[in-house]
């Protein structure tokens, strides 16, 4: 028997018969394309979210503001000088400094530690070509885990090659420590898959290749804000369920799947749960984070400011890229105790949700994870995982409205169940437990570099 039947009907009815979700997704994409940190679209989107939630009556609403270093894209040119003279399509990677220099090219393949060891005498001062690809047997290294060892080895430049064909240069920010000097990053560009292949052809044929990078990017200081909406029942019991998503995206596209999709779904859940707030036992905190694409800036800031409330969080649902027409996956962390419970709830919705214990250290749940907070990275996986995200092609029409409605209805109903559960078995983990668990993930070097390593040495 489904004890939530009545509430489920209200929630599903609201979500499936309203146009708000579609309207919010489309407007975020087309009126505030990219919503890049520090851009007019980024600030405009924050205002739009606040105004829209206000129009739904959602309160209290607060803006959580923090200081940061913004990056502004200039022009970028990548040209082979020899053995041929040819301009290549490229994109500056966020935080890349301005540059006007010639380099020799070194091919580091997938850029794993074994590649670096083999080629270590060739790194210093040169432009290093690295694929966004990993061996099937792993380890699965992220762009930043390949980039930081190259900074430490004093590489001259970082050339990051898309793993999927389609003449799409990838973007993605570089590791950056907000409390160090401004100019600390390597000149870096993203290159299409096909361009990587052409560079390798000339390099292998000639034995060497010279290229020139010319970029005019700049950095400036400013402030940006997370947006927090607390929705409480008449007699809140002190527990909190978090639903979070980042509203910022990359400046080169609509940033539709990544992450207007998650933003619009969190706004929709806030709208619907606010209408039925008298049925809540505790508080549902909806947070739209800024600065995720620039290094999880908003969520790191929030966790630092909210240390005192972390114990009261039952569970965090972090929605990042939920617009693909595929099965919803919940990748849970710090939450072994509730895996079976979540599977049972999913069956009763009923909803085909994949639930697996798997830590993804690259979205806004990660700063919470590091503090032991239980939660799930919620995603509908796309082509090669990321789908069109981080390329020009992440445009509004790629997001499936059906997927957004489904995810909103599933997550809203799971949130109700976590909120109502009398015998909630999941607790915040200790820092020692996290430190031990995180060892195999190869993230210490990156977190130390960015100043986000939460453990004493
Ligand atoms: Zn994202």
Q: How far is the CA of 48 from the centre of ligand 1 (A)?
A: 19
Distance CA 319, CA 262 (A): 5
Note whether 332 and 400 are same-domain residues.
yes
Q: How far is the CA of 323 from the centre of ligand 1 (A)?
A: 11
Q: Domain for residue 104, yes or no?
A: yes
Q: How far is the CA of 247 from the centre of ligand 1 (A)?
A: 9
Note whether 260 and 396 are same-domain residues.
yes
**Closest C-alpha to 333, from 304, 313, 307, 308:** 313
**pLDDT (tens digit, 0 to 9) for every residue of the chain, 457 residues total?**
789 999 999 999 999 999 999 999 999 999 999 999 999 999 999 999 999 999 999 999 999 999 999 999 999 999 999 999 999 999 999 999 999 999 999 999 999 999 999 999 999 999 999 999 999 888 899 999 999 999 999 999 999 999 999 999 999 999 999 999 888 999 999 999 999 999 999 999 999 999 999 999 999 999 999 999 999 999 999 999 999 999 999 999 999 999 999 999 999 999 999 999 999 999 999 999 999 999 999 999 999 999 999 999 999 999 999 999 999 999 999 999 999 999 999 999 999 999 999 999 999 999 999 999 999 999 999 877 677 999 999 999 999 999 999 999 999 999 999 999 999 999 999 999 999 999 999 899 999 999 999 998 7
Note whether 283 and 431 are same-domain residues.
yes
| Residues 153 and 123: beta-carbon distance below 8 Å | yes
Q: Domain for residue 455, yes or no?
A: no
Instruction: CATH number of the domain at 386, please.
Output: 3.40.630.10
Q: How far is the CA of 90 from the centre of ligand 1 (A)?
A: 21
Q: How far is the CA of 86 from the centre of ligand 1 (A)?
A: 34
Q: How far is the CA of 273 from the centre of ligand 1 (A)?
A: 24
Q: How far is the CA of 51 from the centre of ligand 1 (A)?
A: 23
Note whether 282 and 429 are same-domain residues.
yes
Q: Domain for residue 457, yes or no?
A: no
Note whether 313 and 442 are same-domain residues.
yes
Q: Domain for residue 444, yes or no?
A: yes
Instruction: CATH number of the domain at 95, please.
Output: 3.50.30.30
Domain range for 58 is: 5-71+220-450
Q: How far is the CA of 320 from the centre of ligand 1 (A)?
A: 5
The residue from 175, 190, 216 where one domain ends is: 216
Q: How far is the CA of 259 from the centre of ligand 1 (A)?
A: 5
Q: How far is the CA of 104 from the centre of ligand 1 (A)?
A: 33
CA 27, 33, 36, 42 dihedral sign is: negative
Q: How far is the CA of 15 from the centre of ligand 1 (A)?
A: 23
Q: Which two tokens stand for residue 233?
A: 């029942």
Q: How far is the CA of 73 from the centre of ligand 1 (A)?
A: 19
Note whether 149 and 191 are same-domain residues.
yes
Q: Near ion ligand 1, which residues have CB within 5 Å? A: 258-259, 320
Q: Domain for residue 130, yes or no?
A: yes
Q: What's the structural domain count of the chain?
A: 2
Q: 3-class DSSP state for residue 235?
A: coil
The residue from 216, 246, 269 where one domain ends is: 216
Note whether 201 and 260 are same-domain residues.
no
Q: How far is the CA of 262 from the centre of ligand 1 (A)?
A: 8
Q: How far is the CA of 390 from the centre of ligand 1 (A)?
A: 9
Note whether 283 and 422 are same-domain residues.
yes
Looking at the chain, the number of H-run helices and the number of E-run strands are 13, 16
Note whether 148 and 192 are same-domain residues.
yes
Note whether 202 and 251 are same-domain residues.
no
Q: Domain for residue 40, yes or no?
A: yes
Residues near 184 by beta carbon (within 8 Å), at least 6 away in sequence? 176, 177
The residue from 186, 216, 246 where one domain ends is: 216
pTM of the model: 0.96
Residue 395: exposure state from Cβ atoms within 10 A (0-12, 13-18, ≥19): middle
Q: How far is the CA of 319 from the centre of ligand 1 (A)?
A: 8
């Amino acid at each position: 028997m489904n004890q939530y039947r009545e509430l489920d009907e209200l929630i599903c009815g609201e979500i499936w018969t309203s146009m708000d979700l579609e309207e919010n997704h489309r407007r975020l994409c087309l009126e505030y394309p990219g919503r890049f940190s520090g851009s007019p679209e980024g600030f405009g989107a924050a205002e739009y979210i606040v105004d829209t939630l206000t129009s739904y009556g959602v309160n209290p609403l607060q803006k959580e503001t923090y200081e940061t270093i913004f990056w502004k894209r200039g022009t970028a040119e990548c040209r082979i000088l020899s053995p041929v003279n040819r301009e290549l399509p490229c994109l500056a990677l966020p935080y890349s400094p301005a540059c006007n220099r010639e380099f020799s090219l070194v091919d580091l393949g997938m850029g794993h530690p074994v590649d670096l060891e083999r080629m270590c005498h060739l790194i210093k001062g040169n432009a290093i070509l690295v694929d966004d690809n990993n061996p099937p047997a792993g380890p699965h290294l992220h762009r930043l885990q390949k980039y930081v060892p190259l900074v430490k080895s004093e590489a001259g430049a970082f050339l990051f090659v898309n793993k999927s064909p389609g003449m799409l240069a990838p973007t993605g920010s570089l590791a950056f420590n907000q409390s160090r000097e401004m100019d600390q990053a390597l000149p870096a560009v993203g290159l299409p898959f096909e361009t990587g292949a052409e560079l390798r052809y000339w390099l292998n044929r000639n034995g060497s290749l010279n290229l020139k990078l010319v970029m005019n990017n700049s950095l400036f200081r400013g402030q940006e804000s997370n947006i927090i909406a607390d929705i409480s029942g008449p007699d809140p019991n002190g527990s909190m369920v978090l639903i979070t998503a980042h509203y910022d995206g990359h400046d080169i596209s609509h940033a539709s799947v990544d992450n207007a999709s998650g933003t619009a779904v969190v706004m929709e859940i806030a709208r619907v749960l606010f209408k039925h707030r008298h049925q809540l036992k505790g508080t549902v905190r909806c947070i739209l984070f800024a600065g995720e694409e620039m290094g999880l800036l908003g969520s790191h800031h929030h966790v630092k400011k909210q240390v005192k409330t972390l114990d009261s969080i039952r569970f965090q649902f972090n929605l990042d890229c939920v617009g693909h027409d595929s099965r919803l996956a919940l990748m849970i962390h710090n939450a072994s105790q509730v895996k079976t419970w979540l599977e049972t709830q999913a069956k009763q919705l009923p909803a085909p949700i994949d639930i697996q214990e798997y830590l993804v250290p690259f979205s806004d749940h990660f700063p919470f994870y590091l503090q032991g907070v239980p939660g799930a990275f919620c995603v509908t996986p796309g082509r090669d995982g990321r789908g069109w995200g981080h390329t020009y092609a992440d445009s509004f029409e790629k997001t499936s409205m059906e997927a957004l409605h489904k995810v909103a209805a599933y997550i809203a109903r799971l949130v109700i169940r976590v909120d109502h559960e009398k015998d909630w078995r999941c607790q915040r983990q200790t820092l020692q437990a996290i430190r031990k668990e995180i060892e195999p993930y190869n993230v210490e070097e990156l977190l130390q570099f960015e100043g986000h390593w939460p453990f004493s040495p």
